[in-house]
Chains A and B, each alone.
Chain A
Amino acid sequence: MVGSVSGRYLLLVFVLVITVGPFLWQISTSLKGPDENIFAFPPQWIPEQPTLANYLAVAGVLPLGQYLLNSTFVAGVSTLTNVLFGSMAGYALARMRFRGRATIFALMIATLVIPFEVIMISVFVVTRGLGLMNTLTGALLPLAVTVLSVFIMRQAFVKLPAEVEEAAFVDGASEWQTFWKVAMPSARGSLAVVAIFSFMFAWDDFLWPLIVLRDPDKFTLTVGLVFLDGQFSADQRLIAAGTIIAILPVLALFVALQRYFFRGVGQAAVKG
């Protein structure tokens, strides 16, 4: 048994090295000074002249600060809209009976089989028609509410016992008050899942902002990083610092709210 336990740890450490190694190498590169040879052979894992100058340069000198703001705006607003609109639609589908509900539900399920990549040309045509090309609003709106958010919230509200609602109704609460003050607080866990995944989805998105944003000062972080990486003068130390900065917000969320991430993967998988 002892042999199999240590064998297991050996395997775990092996996978750990493969998983963490690339991140560590990136961090190492991002901390190397301007006079240090980043192509040194053999590679230098510990920077000889460790410095945070690359981070300062990337946030201040390069337009990365602007990219950060743009990404924060797009991801922040899309989190709010997914939480709010997703809950409202999920609540109607879960708790209200009306003609056409089955049709709406079927239409939403249908969208799950058609990925964005199939319709991106037409989404571009619509966005241009609305005059939203090269705007952050244009980058945001197609992500503002996803069917997944609606479904996760619908699932949460379906489980709500009917008595709670009826009690609120007897107390004279309107539909909106019941939704806002009774249903929403009871679905906190699902709200967290929707919020986290909407934020992460918008923050990490690349293809759509690449299509819709044209001017470098409008770029989100992902598009901006690839743009900078493509420049001939690209300094790998700065790109490395940029990628680390790009990971940090989502990493912080992950460390703080880990269980919701795992729960969300389960829910997304079942829906997908």
Chain B
Amino acid sequence: MIGRRWYTPWLFLLPSLVLLGVFYWWPVLNTGILSMTDAHTLRGGEFVGLENFRRMVDDAFFWNALENSLLFTVGVVPALVVLPLLLAVLVNTKLPGIAFFRTVFFSPVIASMVVVALIWSWMLRTDGLVNYVLQRLQIINEPLGWLSDPSLALISVIVVTVWKGLGYYMVIYLAGLQNIPDDLYEAASVDGAGPIRRFWTVTVPMMRPSMVLVGTLSAINAIKVFTEVFVLTGGGPFRSSETLVLYIYERGFEGLEMGYASAMSLSLFVLVLLFSLASQWITRRRAAL
């Protein structure tokens, strides 16, 4: 620390500050500015006040996209809070070969969402593998249009998102499970609690903080969903699976309406912020109890 020049720390920070400044902090400010202009890709924008937000309120496609994003989130989050927890409990033993299962369950995480979505779009075709298996198991009688039926498209995307996310959240839960003292399980066993009772009286209460964390992360990831929707359905059929980011992309990069798209981006930001605040509120309320 002795004899250091005042600018030394800034030299260390310089590359990061320049990159973050140009590609992060400035765009954050500019999103706010653009949202109040009628900026178009081909020309600069004029200040229009809250016009874009007024337009949003009247835009049925915006509300449709918002509704789909919320439905998607409501579908994905409970599944990703519960299923990976069960999976983590399942692999949290010392049985022979368990490391193999743990590793394989994690594998969808390392594949890109594009690859996962392409694999599933192949399987979810009307003449695809999923319909065949479900028919063989007599769960369905005839092939369903998983990606072509407006009432199924969003559900199919939810299934793919959950499938890809299982391993990631399982690893987060595993870290939490390792912090539960064995005595608690032993005490519960002595009291005559079976595996299911032990799960409810020991695991679930002890894992609450992890569950809040997983709930928050999966909700934030769900509300900004893009890739799997884009690849699997393109938002269709008839916008039945079009989510918020897809619509922002459409208005911004196909409609070339930078101002209006920025205004809608702010609504996405508000949702992300709400999810973060909600999770902090839950955590704090728990701590207070």
Point out residues on A near B: beta carbons under 8 Å: 4-5, 8-9, 11-12, 15-16, 18-20, 22-23, 25-26, 29, 39, 41-43, 81, 84-86, 88-89, 91-93, 96-98, 101, 104, 107-108, 111, 113-115, 117-127, 130, 141-142, 144-145, 147, 150, 169, 175, 179, 200, 203-207, 210-211, 222, 225-226, 229, 236, 239-240, 243, 246-247, 250-251, 253-254, 258, 261-262, 265-266, 269, 272
Contact B13 A104, beta carbon cutoff 8 Å: yes
Contact A117 B12, beta carbon cutoff 8 Å: no
Bound-state Cα–Cα, A88 to B15, Å: 9
Residues of A contacting B175 with CB < 8 Å? 266
B26 within 8 A of A: yes
Residues of A contacting B163 with CB < 8 Å? 18-19, 22
Contact B12 A122, beta carbon cutoff 8 Å: no
Contact B231 A226, beta carbon cutoff 8 Å: yes
17 contacts between A and B (CB under 8 A): A16-B105, A19-B107, A19-B108, A22-B163, A25-B122, A88-B15, A96-B4, A119-B27, A120-B248, A126-B22, A126-B26, A144-B19, A169-B1, A204-B112, A207-B227, A254-B110, A262-B106
Contact B15 A204, beta carbon cutoff 8 Å: no
Chain A's closest residue to B172 (CB) is A269
Output the least CB separation between A76 and chain B (Å). Answer: 16
Residues of A contacting B258 with CB < 8 Å? 121, 125
Output the least CB separation between B112 and chain A (Å). Answer: 3
B34, B104, B120, B265: which contacts A16 (Cβ < 8 A)?
Answer: B104
Bound-state Cα–Cα, A214 to B11, Å: 35
Contact B9 A98, beta carbon cutoff 8 Å: yes
Chain B's closest residue to A141 (CB) is B23
With A20-B104, A22-B123, A122-B31 known to touch, is A229 a contact of B265 (CB < 8 Å)? no
Output the least CB separation between A231 and chain B (Å). Answer: 13
Bound-state Cα–Cα, A210 to B93, Å: 43
Which 7 pairs across A and B sit closest by C-beta, in order of nearness?
A204-B112, A122-B27, A92-B12, A89-B16, A222-B114, A122-B30, A119-B27
B226 within 8 A of A: yes
B49 within 8 A of A: no
Residues of B contacting A142 with CB < 8 Å? 23-24
Contact B226 A101, beta carbon cutoff 8 Å: no
With A39-B127, A114-B28 known to touch, is A254 a contact of B107 (CB < 8 Å)? yes
Point out residues on B near A: beta carbons under 8 Å: 1-2, 4, 6, 8-10, 12-13, 15-17, 19-20, 22-28, 30-31, 34, 39, 87, 90-91, 93, 95, 98, 101, 103-116, 118-123, 127, 129, 132, 136, 163, 166-168, 171-172, 175, 195, 213, 217, 220, 224, 226-227, 230-231, 245, 248-249, 252-253, 258, 261-262, 265-266, 268-269, 272-273, 276
Contact B252 A126, beta carbon cutoff 8 Å: no
Residues of A contacting B266 with CB < 8 Å? 118
A20, A84, A243, A265: which contacts B168 (Cβ < 8 A)?
Answer: A265
Contact A92 B13, beta carbon cutoff 8 Å: yes
With A96-B12, A126-B22 known to touch, is A104 a contact of B253 (CB < 8 Å)? no
Chain B's closest residue to A240 (CB) is B122
Contact A111 B20, beta carbon cutoff 8 Å: yes
Contact A246 B112, beta carbon cutoff 8 Å: yes
Output the least CB separation between B23 and chain A (Å). Answer: 4
Bound-state Cα–Cα, A104 to B34, Å: 25
With A98-B6, A114-B28, A121-B248 known to touch, is A145 a contact of B16 (CB < 8 Å)? yes
Bound-state Cα–Cα, A254 to B171, Å: 14
Bound-state Cα–Cα, A130 to B245, Å: 25
With A23-B119, A118-B265 known to touch, is A145 a contact of B15 (CB < 8 Å)? yes
With A8-B95, A11-B90 known to touch, is A261 a contact of B110 (CB < 8 Å)? yes
Residues of A contacting B30 with CB < 8 Å? 119, 122, 125-126
With A8-B95, A111-B20, A141-B23 known to touch, is A26 a contact of B12 (CB < 8 Å)? no
